[in-house]
Structure 1
Amino acid sequence: MKIENNGLSNGLSGQFAVDAKGMGELRRAAQQNSPDALKETAWQFEALFMNMVMKSMRQATPQDGVFDSEQSRMYTAMLDQQISQNLAKRGVGLADVLVRQLSSTANIQQAMPLEQASGASSGLEIAEQIAARMAESRSAAKDTQVKDKGLAATDVDKPARRSSRPAHVRDFQERLASHAEEASRTTGIPAKFMLGQAALESGWGKREIVAADGTRSHNLFGIKATSGWKGKVVEAVTTEYINGMPQRRVEKFRAYDSYADAFRDYARMLSKNPRYERVIANAQDATSFAQGLQRAGYATDPQYAAKLSRLIKTSFSV
């Protein structure tokens, strides 16, 4: 089934749902129990999702070059919105999945309660909430299926979930999952939370700290070499936020012989350092974990918790 843009809902398809006006139209369209309104809503969500993907890609790319500024970032965001709309019009398959998912529910509002998301501060957050609800629905259906067959849901679902993730996520997880699981047994923090933090700090391994001669530090968590550190050290330029303003500085970071050593040291730091006690105690979900790290002073970036929780939810919770 291919969804075509047919100008429904008084031209809603000409607007973008991250705008306040477009979001209001999207909520009203979702409340109409008609196939046309459902298709239009699904198309708008596909545009939202594509914009979310592009925004995450931008955030994973360094934006402190000589040509970068607030103005350039604003126009880049506007361009991304237009590209997202164009991609959604051509269709990437998400809208079709949404229509099938929501058509099987008698009440559209129950399956896609956008009104409950009205407190979100952006279209990106609303998209994440809807995606999370869809994931919960699929998970519940899978649990029911496997229980009927007498199988464990986790044994059946794990390979399917991993295969549906992007290649760079699968590769990162496959290389480091065993180390993260070992650290999880030490700290009690879910392995996927630590994998998400390693991905954020290292740019999925592409921005791993290296020595002047190119030697890898294996430091995926950006842990600095303080006065108490007795191991190897590597210097690198980093961005620190002082009074909310980004500043480039040269800092000393810990260096390890392997990624396994990096995860062990990370687990040791969280377990032994009193400042991270509340992080471990409140790591029931990605948001609490990320906010706990930021409150404990792990990073100076004021958006660190939001970036980390979003990466974990979008890359490791599907």
Structure 2
Amino acid sequence: MRDLEAWNALAIDGRSLDGLRAKARRDPDGALKAAAREFEAVLMEMMLKSMRQAMVAGPSLEEHGLGGGEVRTYQGMLDQQLARGAASQGLGLAERLVEQLSRSQPARVERTPPIAMTTASTAPAQGTPASAPASFVERLRPHAEAAARTLGLPPRFVLGHAALESGWGRHEIRHPDGRPSHNLFGIKAGAGWRGETVEVVTTEYVDGRAERRRERFRAYGSYAEAFADYARLLAANPRYAPVLAHGGDADAFARALKQAGYATDPLYDRKLSAVLNSPALSALAAG
């Protein structure tokens, strides 16, 4: 009941929108449902208003001593109450809105998240690596070391690349049902990929301008599979040979990856260098 009262308050107290914003930070799913119900009620109210205006004029409250302004005020209040009463029972529109918007949640995943994301300490979603850089390194270090041995690179280079692409695990590409794809390197699913895939909206740069596109990415059964596939990709593709030649220089490694076309972000090498030289990876500098 309190939730319903708080929802109804949005119509009479604009400050209640602040409560909805706060709820969005604490409980995004709950806030999405509340916003969808609010939209449903507003739409119903507009429909009632249109229906009233289309009705044939008859005896009005003005004939009983009320002014025109008062009539409109009370009619508006009545329409609002009727709309919210009907919407509180559920018309089906709010549920469809929630369903559609929920499907678009992966769009918030950036393929190359800003470096600012690397310092966040928000708790990770279930099934993803811990968001704290130290925990990310601890959890994934064995997989990175295995891939590094294959590539002849320091483990911190592999971990740093995964950290950049996934925002230290916080922005891992996910399936529509929330399952992790374990794809920490943003590797796309080309024509030759025969494994599972997941589609998300990602940012690509064309002539230096950012564009939002829906792309298919590879999905794995585990993080071990993801790191092994990353190692195969870099080892088998000739264009990454210069990348593997820079195992002793983090900045040169980052530049070589950008020049090889691993990502379209014009600042990709700078972002990767910042991650590779971050405190979380400094302990692995001699790896």
Alpha-carbon displacement from aligned partner over 1:163-202 (angstroms, at most 9, x marks no partner): xxxx812100111000000001100011101111111100
2:178 is matched with which residue? 214
The 3 A distance-change label for structure 1 pair 282 and 227 is same
Q: Matched residues in 1 for 2:174 and 2:282: separation?
A: 30
By how many angstroms is 1:283 displaced?
2.3
RMSD, aligned CA: 2.0
The 3 A distance-change label for structure 1 pair 210 and 58 is closer
2:57 is matched with which residue? none
The 3 A distance-change label for structure 1 pair 270 and 56 is closer
Letter in 1 for 2:233: M
By how many angstroms is 1:285 displaced?
1.2
Q: Matched residues in 1 for 2:256 and 2:211: separation?
A: 24
Whether 1:57 and 2:116 are equivalent positions in the alignment is: yes
By how many angstroms is 1:57 displaced?
2.3
Whether 1:317 and 2:282 are equivalent positions in the alignment is: yes
2:136 is matched with which residue? 172
Residue 297 (structure 1) aligned to one of 261, 272, 281? 261
Letter in 2 for 1:316: L
Q: Which has the higher helix share?
A: 1
Alpha-carbon displacement from aligned partner over 1:47-91 (angstroms, at most 9, x marks no partner): xxxxxxxx9426878xxxxxxxxxxxxxxxxxxxxxxxxxxxxxx
What percent of counterpart residues are identical?
55
> 2:151·2:244 contact (CA, 8 Å) conserved in 1?
yes
Residue 167 (structure 2) aligned to one of 203, 207, 210? 203
The 3 A distance-change label for structure 1 pair 56 and 273 is closer
Whether 1:190 and 2:154 are equivalent positions in the alignment is: yes
Letter in 1 for 2:258: Q
Q: Matched residues in 2 for 1:230 and 1:266: separation?
A: 15
1:307 is matched with which residue? 271
Q: Matched residues in 2 for 1:188 and 1:282: separation?
A: 10
Whether 1:282 and 2:216 are equivalent positions in the alignment is: no
Q: Which of structures 1 and 2 has the larger relative contact order (alpha carbons within 8 angstroms, sep 6+)?
A: 2
Whether 1:247 and 2:211 are equivalent positions in the alignment is: yes
By how many angstroms is 1:281 displaced?
1.2
By how many angstroms is 1:229 displaced?
0.6
For these two proteins, the number of residue pairs brought into alignment is 160
Consecutive unaligned residues of structure 2, counting only runs of 5 or more, are 1-113, 121-130
By how many angstroms is 1:306 displaced?
0.4
Q: Matched residues in 1 for 2:119 and 2:171: separation?
A: 10
Q: Matched residues in 2 for 1:183 and 1:275: separation?
A: 18
Letter in 2 for 1:191: P
TM-score by length of 1: 0.48
Whether 1:228 and 2:192 are equivalent positions in the alignment is: yes
Letter in 1 for 2:228: R
The 3 A distance-change label for structure 1 pair 209 and 58 is closer
Find the residue that maps to 1:288 and give its secondary structure.
Answer: helix
Letter in 2 for 1:287: D
Q: Matched residues in 1 for 2:145 and 2:137: separation?
A: 11
Alpha-carbon displacement from aligned partner over 1:91-139 (angstroms, at most 9, x marks no partner): xxxxxxxxxxxxxxxxxxxxxxxxxxxxxxxxxxxxxxxxxxxxxxxxx
Letter in 2 for 1:246: A
Find the residue that maps to 1:292 and give its secondary structure.
Answer: helix
Consecutive unaligned residues of structure 1, counting only runs of 5 or more, are 1-54, 62-166
1:77 is matched with which residue? none
Alpha-carbon displacement from aligned partner over 1:200-241 (angstroms, at most 9, x marks no partner): 100111110011111110000000000011110000010000
Q: Matched residues in 1 for 2:265 and 2:115: separation?
A: 16
